[in-house]
Structure 1
Amino acid sequence: MATPNPASESPSDDGTRYVPRSNYSLIGDPKCLDTSLDLFFINFCNIRGLRSNFESVEHHLSSTKPHLLFLTATQLSKATDGSPFSVPSYFLYSHFHSKAGWCVYVEHILSLYPFVEISILGDFNVRHQLWLFSPIIDHPDELAFNFAFLHDLEQFVQHPTRIPDRLGDTPNILDLFVNSNLSAYAVTLSSPLGSSDHNFISVSYPIFPIPPQDPQSGGASDVLPLPDGGPEEVLC
């Protein structure tokens, strides 16, 4: 395994603890849900440093086997070699940045699930009184809400993903899952991976695989980062 280039991991003094939602589907630890072939699983979280938490990430992928795992706040320099962070049976796509950055692990069998929809997820770092139950709202928050509303996108995460441990702070829903397939997804929240300060989120969707298609016939899935700036790290 290659040795990664020097990379920085930015410290954070935020903290979080899980507050369960009464109608969320919880079976023990949601990170350990059975990924049977009739459910499509997407996992994501703000990892707060991929290097320091890679052991937890690798264990989660090898034991739970989600179809997609999105990680924000990887906190690795742009020059970092991604090969030391590869995991068997997964493709790794990344856009590293020393104080932000993201990556996504895509299971090799994803081509067996040819479907098209819009999903936008990640650490939005926005607040909205009506949408996200936050007492604070400003112009960027309103823009995010209006974008989802105008494009018939539903936001599925309904409980705080980051619960601060500093006096005067309030719990916030900062990590969102916005999707065009209304009411199709089940959402679970659980404790963070490794030393992350954001809750771990898993969403599942009932779907059935079909025989592999000709590569020329389509059915591929794209992972596209939004432009730099705006939300902290958001993937679609």
Structure 2
Amino acid sequence: MSTPYLEVRGLRAAYGDIQVLHGIDFTVAEGQIAVILGANGAGKTTTLRALCAMVATEGSIKLAGEEIGRRPTADIVRRGVAHVPQGRGTFPELSVEENLQAGGFVRTDGEVRADIDRWYGLFPVLGERRRQAAGSLSGGEQQMLAIARALMLRPTLLLLDEPSLGLAPMITRELFDHLTVINAESGTTMLVVEQNASLALSMADQAYVLEAGEVALSGAAEELVADDNVRRAYLGY
């Protein structure tokens, strides 16, 4: 069996004295889309923050077999991990293009301009608003910009926290279609935290359900769709 691209073992995370994750284990294969489901407060956002060393953690986090759990956040980013946080996370005073340039700041390959044009092609509205301040964009446009900016890193692992939050259903569907295309064309491994369980499971290969900081269920996304407990709790039927 091949080594998982992302392998998390015994991950614990806490905010001060408040323990949020209680030794969770999960893996994501290279090129896979994995989704984390769970109720509010289950530890989903904390899991993504723990992978980026943004919260105090214990346990092992390996990327392509290399331990990254003890590294500073900046080193993890340079290793190819991009995080799109809940609530967009753009620089509101900078223009769309300046945000994209910031996303490629650590790169030295000379292809930043080509990638900016590539994401303008995938998200045409960003190209139309390239000189507009990010803070003046609609919620859906800001989310597209946040994802495009993260992709400017050319990440090997893309972490997305509630990408559909606050978006209209049509915009959400379009956004998830774009993510599926990016995964297929670039082979970017993705770990997605999402409240829209039905949509998330429809695009994912693997799924994990968190309850009170522990993995309660896991399996292939198509298997969890058929699980009675998951259907009742997250799919509404």
| TM-score between both structures, scaled by the size of structure 2 | 0.27
**Structure ranking higher in strand proportion:** 2
| TM-score between both structures, scaled by the size of structure 1 | 0.27
